[in-house]
Structure 1
Amino acid sequence: MQRTNGIILGIGMGLCIISCEQKGKTEQQEKSVDRLENFVDSVETAVNREANHNWTVLDNRYNKLVSNVEASYDDSKEKAREKYEDLEERYEEAKVEARNKTAKMQEDAERHMSNVESWWERNTARAQQGTRNTMDDIEEGAKDSWEWLEKNTDKLGDDIRARYEKIKSDLEG
């Protein structure tokens, strides 16, 4: 019997046994699953920091990593499924969390913007008469909303950001 590159050949006995050595394959499997896990971890971390992401790009990367995991298991995709089922669930949960955070952010932004716009409408005539309105003049409820909008400007949707910037520009004269 002779062993060559993980294949055992029985020569001269009328027997030929081919056996694949699993050490290299197992390492490739582990690496592909590790890459997928690292990606899911980074998506979860990113969603915790900021909910707005390009999910098309993230989904494409995720699907490629899943394909790599499946390919590393050749025809035993069931084994691959067992390995990354938890990762798939975590990834989908991160997407749902991001959607929920984005929706909440939009609701909060609309509420704060409406509050500031309401204050602005009540006080516009005074501003147009030459009274310079400053942050000190803003009523307490509107001031909290204004501060929230200031703090979250980079996270606002285009519509709310434009409305905010218009009032800010008018306030600055």
Structure 2
Amino acid sequence: MDVGLLLLRLVIGALLAGHALQKLAGAFGGGGLARTGAVFDSWGHRPGVPMAALAGTAELVGAVLLVLGLGTPLAVAIVVGTMLVAALALAPMGLWATQGGSEVPVLYGATAATLGFTGPGALSLDAVLGWSWFSGVGSGAAAVGLGLVTGVPVAVRAHRRRRVAMTP
């Protein structure tokens, strides 16, 4: 099981880091801060460039922590919160990524939430540091709850701004 958790952390963390670097640096065909900021503006996350920088930085920090298995509940909260905001912004396009929908952030967020409940496994810095209490229902629920509590207000604020901007 520990090898499986390590593999899951490495894959989801690496993909999420790449996702963040698309925003922050235009890597891997991403828009970089200028183009991503314009998209964030259109979603109601204003000012767009600083909000894109904040989202990308949070995603990158969450990704690195997941890969290392360090401070796993904090990593889970960061990823769940940022992916909730992203999923809600993309929800009007449906679920599937091929239509610009919320499939990818839902997958990242659900995977992070799962790691919140399982813990990072024995092959992690949390285990090396003796932070074994960073797993289980209580820790997972607290991490997911923190992610939701921090993500919902950001998403609601953007939704209101987007709705106001669309009102004739």
TM-score in same-fold range (> 0.5): no
Q: Which has the higher contact order (CA 8 A, sep 6+)?
A: 2
Query: What TM-score do you get using the length of structure 1 for normalisation?
Result: 0.33
Specify the structure having the higher radius of gyration (Cα).
1
Higher helix content, 1 or 2: 2
